[in-house]
């Protein structure tokens, strides 16, 4: 019998097949490359991050492209698009461009994808908000946000955060603050809450900012290990800002 390290070869192949099937059924195609190129390790990571977590706590998203050579991944996505020019292939490549800082390329693909039945595609519009913000195209980000503002998922999305920051950059401070406040919530929204605190600091409201940062840090010890891992970066930033304010 063939072995993969200390694991029987056929067991590894069967595990790969099961994980790939689960990926396809759950729309998690970005994991497939990890599972294929790092068979045993990829399968174990996928099981831990996507299958085993309870429904109560969602596992933090893993940047698979950072695990595998991102340049090689993008080349593969570019080849897929050249071979089959579909909406899905366009968006997958655009997402990869956005993740790796190739924002202009991402915007070009996103914009060209908004045709026919996909004219109002929520994912593409949300990604465009982020991309436009990064290029300081704040008016465009706000315009696009208007198309999906009333969608249920928008309130909880990162695109909403970039919409609020776009409003601030165009000096619509009252509306920007209203959007920041809409993203506040105990034991959640740590990136959004940190950015709200920074908004308050930029507007010389140090005491209000301190309250936001303090509330974040008071919650940290009550989070589960997985939740704490997701919030760690933003709580650390909040702690740094509190020291500066003091």
The pLDDT value recorded for residue 224 is 87
CA of 100: how far to CAs of 15, 42, 79, in Å?
30, 22, 17
Least confident of 98-107, 139-148, 179-188: 179-188
Q: Which of 50-54, 55-59, 116-120 has the lowest average pLDDT?
A: 55-59
- Confidence class for position 22, pLDDT limits 50, 70, 90: confident
How high is the pLDDT of residue 170?
98
Work out the mean pLDDT of the chain and round it to a whole number.
86
Burial 29-59 (b: 16+ CB within 10 A, else e): ebbbbbbeeebbebbebbeebbeeeeeeeee
Q: List own/partner pairs for 146-154 with CB under 8 A and 24 or more apart.
A: 147/120, 148/120, 148/122, 151/122, 153/122, 154/122, 154/126
Q: Phi/psi zone of residue 27: left (φ > 0), alpha (ψ -120 to 50 degrees), beta?
A: left
- What's the pLDDT at 5? 47
Q: What is the pLDDT of residue 140?
A: 98
Residues 60-65 have a mean pLDDT of: 48
> For the residues 41-55, what does the mean pLDDT come to?
69
Residue 67 has a pLDDT of 54
How many CA atoms does the CB half-sphere of 151 hold within 13 Å? Answer: 18
**H or E, element range at 117:** none
pLDDT exceeds 70 at position 70: no
At 6, the pLDDT band (50, 70, 90 cuts) reads very low
The fraction of the chain above a pLDDT of 90, given in percent, is 61
List of residues 6+ apart from 168 with CB closer than 8 A: 176, 199, 202
Q: How many residues does the chain have?
A: 246
Q: pLDDT band for 88, please (50, 70, 90 cuts).
A: very high
**Higher-confidence position of 7 and 83:** 83
């Amino acid at each position: 019998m063939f072995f993969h390290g200390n694991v029987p070869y056929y067991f590894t192949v069967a595990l790969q097949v099961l994980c790939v099937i689960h990926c396809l059924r759950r729309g998690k195609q970005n994991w497939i490359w990890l599972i294929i190129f790092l068979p045993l390790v990829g399968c174990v990571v996928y099981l831990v991050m996507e299958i085993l977590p309870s429904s109560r706590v969602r596992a933090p998203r893993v940047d698979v492209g950072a695990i595998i050579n991102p340049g090689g991944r993008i080349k593969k996505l570019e080849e897929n698009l050249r071979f089959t020019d579909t909406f899905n292939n366009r968006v997958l490549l655009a997402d990869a461009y956005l993740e790796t800082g190739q924002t202009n390329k991402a915007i070009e693909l996103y914009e060209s994808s908004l045709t026919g039945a996909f004219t109002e595609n929520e994912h593409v519009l949300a990604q465009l908000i982020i991309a436009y913000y990064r290029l300081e195209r704040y008016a465009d980000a706000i315009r696009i946000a208007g198309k999906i503002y009333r969608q249920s998922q928008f309130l909880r999305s990162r695109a909403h955060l970039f919409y609020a920051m776009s409003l601030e950059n165009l000096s619509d401070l009252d509306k920007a603050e209203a959007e920041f406040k809409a993203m506040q919530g105990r034991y959640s929204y740590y990136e959004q809450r940190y950015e709200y605190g920074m908004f308050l600091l930029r507007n010389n409201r140090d005491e209000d900012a301190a309250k936001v940062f303090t509330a974040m840090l008071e919650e940290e010890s009550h989070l589960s290990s997985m939740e704490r891992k997701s919030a760690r970066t933003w709580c650390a930033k909040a702690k740094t800002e509190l020291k500066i304010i003091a």
